[in-house]
């Protein structure tokens, strides 16, 4: 197996930790969703549904439940996963632990949560659609497609959006400083200042100025360096090219065609849509309820709110070729400029059994989520926990291996 680099996350890059050898017992529940063809892979095609008998077994195998159990045993309050596969009439939903430590309620399939950097594949898809429409080109300068009045260079920092291309924003080779790593801002977003500043409002222009004040991490095109600034800028590019906010374009181009009725971009609204559980983060040695916050600091880099079902629908439609033309589908998977680390909004993960899955992860205060799928989008897993990796270890690969590396006979191998 090729060794993978650190996986990206919405707020900051993080190093996944291995779970301890011993595990405490946890509540575990597994059930089926009543989401037939609308949640399966033919949901947005508009084709007639086949007869139930032709669709095969009712649910995919229960593979991720033990992995969720281990996560909760390692100190995570709650975890949930949704698996969808061609040939099964319904998805399989599994959960462990609790969604709310106050009343002990479990996670539900319909629960909304903050998805962090899982916003990025949707932003990238819209940008690639605009490229297919010849409204921009991937080799264009980012500065050429920004709304008037926005800064394009920093005061003596060396950061210069005139030298950065759209492609370099998409695959994180721009070298732009990651604005969420600014020490003063990071203290407010994730540190001891969170309680006092969780409802602060931020504008993209303000956040861009924060990034441009810092020297670049590398020269444009020199190397991969994950930065939320890249997708902050892409959100501004979409607005300048289309005349509409990036969230409006995502709704029109992606959410409506793919049937994602439970995904939203809250802007400055701090509350989650109902139903939802709680989100927990650690500030110092205290566990803090981080459910309510102003997500404007995340913007196009990670403000999305969604459900497990909508994530599965989106990645099934994307990888199934229903949202991008073949040329753009090849581009979104193109990792050559990052040495096999990251495409143009997606990245591949090779699992211990040799299976390669495509997707993204996301993180924001008190929430971590991951979606992975086979290259054709016919087998999709989305899972989430109600904490972040700065509060507890979240071994993504262990969950993905449980789902994608077991054959029907229970042994490791190609699913």
pLDDT given at position 133: 98
Name the pTM for this structure.
0.86
Residue 56 has a pLDDT of: 66
Per-residue confidence (pLDDT) for residue 25, from 0 to 100: 29
Q: Residue 51's pLDDT is what?
A: 44
What amino acid positions are annotated as catalytic residues? 117
pLDDT at position 54 is 54
Q: How much is the pLDDT for 392?
A: 80
The pLDDT of residue 407 is: 58
Which among 276, 301, 273 is positioned nearest to 363, based on CA atoms? 301
User: From start to end of 107-198, where are the E strands?
Assistant: 113-114
User: What pLDDT was estimated at residue 391?
Assistant: 79
Are 227 and 142 spatial neighbours (Cβ–Cβ below 8 Å)? no
pLDDT block averages, 10 residues each, the chain of length 415 = 40 33 32 36 39 63 91 93 90 96 96 98 98 98 95 89 97 98 96 96 97 96 97 98 98 97 97 97 92 98 98 98 97 96 97 96 97 97 94 87 73 43
Q: Residue 407 CB: number of other CB atoms within 10 A? A: 12
Q: Which stretches does DSSP call E strand in 33-108? A: 78-85, 92-97
Confidence (pLDDT) at 196: 96
- Rounded Cα distance between 92 and 233, Å, is 37
**What is the Cα–Cα distance from 194 to 188, expressed in whole angstroms?**
5
CA 171 and chain centroid, separation: 15
CA 142 – CA 303 distance, rounded (Å): 22
* Helix, strand, coil percentages, rounded to 5, for the chain: 30, 15, 50
């Amino acid at each position: 197996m090729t060794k993978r680099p650190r996986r990206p996350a919405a707020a900051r890059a993080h190093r996944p930790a291995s779970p301890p050898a011993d595990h405490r017992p946890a509540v575990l529940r597994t059930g089926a969703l009543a989401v037939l063809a609308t949640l399966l892979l033919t949901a947005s095609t508009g084709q007639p549904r086949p007869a139930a008998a032709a669709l095969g077994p009712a649910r995919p195998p229960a593979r991720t439940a033990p992995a969720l159990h281990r996560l909760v045993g390692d100190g995570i309050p709650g975890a949930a996963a949704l698996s969808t596969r061609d040939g099964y009439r319904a998805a399989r939903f599994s959960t462990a632990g609790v969604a709310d430590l106050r009343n002990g309620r479990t996670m539900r399939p319909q629960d909304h949560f903050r998805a962090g950097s899982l916003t990025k594949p949707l932003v990238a898809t819209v940008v690639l659609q605009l490229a297919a429409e010849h409204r921009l080109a991937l080799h264009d300068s980012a500065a050429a497609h920004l709304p008037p009045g926005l800064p394009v260079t920093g005061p003596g920092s060396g950061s210069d959006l005139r030298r950065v291309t759209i492609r370099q924003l998409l695959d994180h080779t721009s070298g732009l400083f990651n604005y969420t790593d600014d020490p003063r801002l990071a203290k407010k977003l994730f540190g001891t200042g969170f309680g006092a500043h969780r409802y602060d409002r931020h504008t993209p222009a303000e956040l861009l100025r924060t990034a441009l004040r810092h020297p670049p991490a590398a020269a444009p095109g020199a190397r991969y360096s994950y930065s939320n600034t890249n997708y902050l800028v892409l959100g501004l590019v979409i607005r300048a090219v289309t005349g509409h906010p990036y969230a409006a374009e995502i709704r029109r181009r992606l959410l409506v065609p793919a049937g994602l009725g439970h995904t939203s971009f809250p802007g400055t609204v701090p509350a989650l849509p109902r139903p939802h559980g709680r989100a927990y983060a650690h500030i110092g040695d205290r566990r803090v309820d981080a459910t309510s916050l102003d997500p404007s600091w995340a913007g196009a880099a990670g403000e999305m709110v969604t459900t497990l079902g909508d994530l599965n629908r989106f990645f099934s439609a994307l990888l199934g070729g229903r949202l991008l033309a073949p040329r753009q589908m090849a581009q979104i998977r193109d990792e050559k400029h990052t040495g096999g680390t990251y495409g143009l909004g997606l990245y591949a993960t090779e699992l211990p059994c040799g299976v390669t899955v495509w997707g993204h992860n996301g993180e924001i205060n008190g929430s971590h989520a991951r979606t992975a799928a086979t290259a054709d989008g016919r087998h999709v897993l989305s899972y989430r926990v109600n904490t972040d990796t700065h509060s507890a270890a979240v071994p993504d690969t262990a969950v993905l291996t449980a789902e994608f590396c077991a054959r029907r006979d229970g042994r490791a191998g190609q699913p």
